[in-house]
Structure formats: structure tokens, C-alpha cells
Amino acid sequence: MTKEELIQKAIEARTLSYSPYSHFAVGAALLCKDGSLYLGANVENSSYPLSMCAERNALYHALMEGKKKEDFEALAIVADSDQPCSPCGACRQVLSELFPANKPIYLANLNGDQKITHIHELLPFAFDKEDLGL
Ligand code: THU
């Protein structure tokens, strides 16, 4: 699957967003090495902090199907933003734990603007299990 196809899947996932509070719909598509694909969209709640981001939903969706960090190939995140959609700090921390450092993360918007990045660029000097002495 190409970068453009993966971004298109994230655009499709975005249509499933439940975002009546922010009106900011986000879609994510997570590609695995075996070609399988896991989608996510943000799901908000009237108790705002309970809301869940698109990329974490995609990642957790994959984990619940038995996928592991080493199975992931690429991730796309899309919103209707001026710049390619930038993941929040919480998602960066989760991705640093569960998404491979050497695999691409495609950030995009609906205007066709794109940025290719990696988790070590999004979250340098991350807190991880080694900081816990593990
Ligand atoms: N959001 C995501 O789903 N992913 C991001 O990368 C940025 C922010 C969601 C959270 C909330 O539902 C809405 O966008 C506005 O912050």
C-alpha cells in the first residue's frame, strides 16, 4: 500500500469520528507488515478528558487483534487542519511505546499537505521503560 493510499484510508476513517464538542474530526490508518490495516477516529465525550484520539484508537484496535509493535509498517493521521495534523503529546508518548522508531508516520490534511516524520522526531528524549529501570 502506498503512502497516498494509506492517507486515503485515514481520510475514510475520519468520517467515523465522533467529535460533537471540538468539531475537529481526525482519522488514522495503521498499516501492518502483513498488509492488514487498522483504522481509528477520535471519539469524544461530554466529560472532555475521556475523549480518545484517532491514532490511539487505531493502535489499540490493532493490539486487540493481536498485533505487536514489530508488526507495524506505517501510520497516517489526517485532519482538516491548516498544517498536516500534528499528534498530541499523549499520543506521542503512546506511539513511542508501541510504534517502531524506524517506521514512517505520515501527517496530512485535506488540502493535500503532507509531512513524513518518525516518533523520535515527534518525541525526542522520551520517557520509557528504561527510566523505570526495566
Ligand atoms: N485529536 C486526535 O484525535 N488526534 C490528534 O492527533 C490531535 C487531536 C483529537 C482530540 C479531540 O477529539 C480533537 O482532536 C480536538 O483536540
Please give the pLDDT value at position 5: 98
Specify the ligand 1 atom closest to the Cα of 53. Answer: 3
Is 12 known to be catalytic?
no
CA distance 37 to 74: 10
What ranges in 15-114 are assigned the alpha helix state H?
A: 54-64, 89-98
The three cell numbers locating residue 92: 506521542
Q: What is the pLDDT along the chain (134 residues), one digit of tens a residue?
A: 999 999 999 999 999 999 999 999 999 999 999 999 999 999 999 999 999 999 999 999 999 999 999 999 999 999 999 999 999 999 999 999 999 999 999 999 999 999 999 999 999 999 999 999 99
Per-residue b/e over 98-111, b at no fewer than 16 CB within 10 Å?
Answer: bbbeebbbbbbbee
Which residue's entry shows cell 491514532? Answer: 55
Please give the pLDDT value at position 44: 98
Contacts 24+ apart (CB under 8 A), 32-36: 32/62, 32/67, 32/71, 32/72, 32/73, 33/71, 33/72, 33/73, 34/71, 35/1, 36/65, 36/67
The ranges assigned to domains in the chain are: 3-132
pTM: 0.97
Specify the ligand 1 atom closest to the Cα of 44. Answer: 12
Please give the pLDDT value at position 35: 98
| Whether the CB of 85 sits within 6 Å of ligand 1 | yes
Specify the ligand 1 atom closest to the Cα of 91. Answer: 6
| Contact yes or no for 38/32 (Cβ under 8 A) | yes
CATH class of 3-132: alpha beta
| Whether the CB of 54 sits within 6 Å of ligand 1 | yes
How far apart, in Å, are the Cα atoms of 44 and each of 14, 97, 111?
13, 23, 24
Which residue's entry shows cell 468539531? Answer: 23
Gap from CA of 38 to ligand 1 centroid (Å): 18
